[in-house]
Structure 1
């Protein structure tokens, strides 16, 4: 009987720890990523800049990308490097 109690207690402790480890985190959805892209492009256009904008989720996955017509071709790669780094390390890249 004592063994059954100990085993059931151990099982419950493991189940509780597993449930805690699976906390849901909010994930960036496509519509929000597109709003971010639009705001950045509008701001750049209003100030006469040509930019590329990359939006990544918290796992470092690309969610949305835009490159303005007047942007240099090299800014695409820089935009994605900076965006991925910011997402992976949780620090702004500006």
Structure 2
């Protein structure tokens, strides 16, 4: 399955909380390395916020960029997702991390 960026953005807009599967590696990356990225923040980004940037990494994997506010304004939240090969309804969160805004804005 080869999903375009536009298709991916549409699938994300149409998804519900039950469609999002957070993989074990993503949980590890959320709480290891003093990242402390809350699970609810991931759901909030994917379900309610607009994607500020997207890069296609593989045929069904994408890196999503979300701006953050408050004390984290200088960092984007990166969420790497993958669409299930059998159903575009299932969105798997592969990993997540914060990255300096300077890497996005060049």
TM-score (norm 1): 0.27
| Structure ID, larger Rg | 1
If each structure's strand is expressed as a fraction of its own residues, which one has the higher value?
Answer: 2
Q: Which has the higher contact order (CA 8 A, sep 6+)?
A: 2
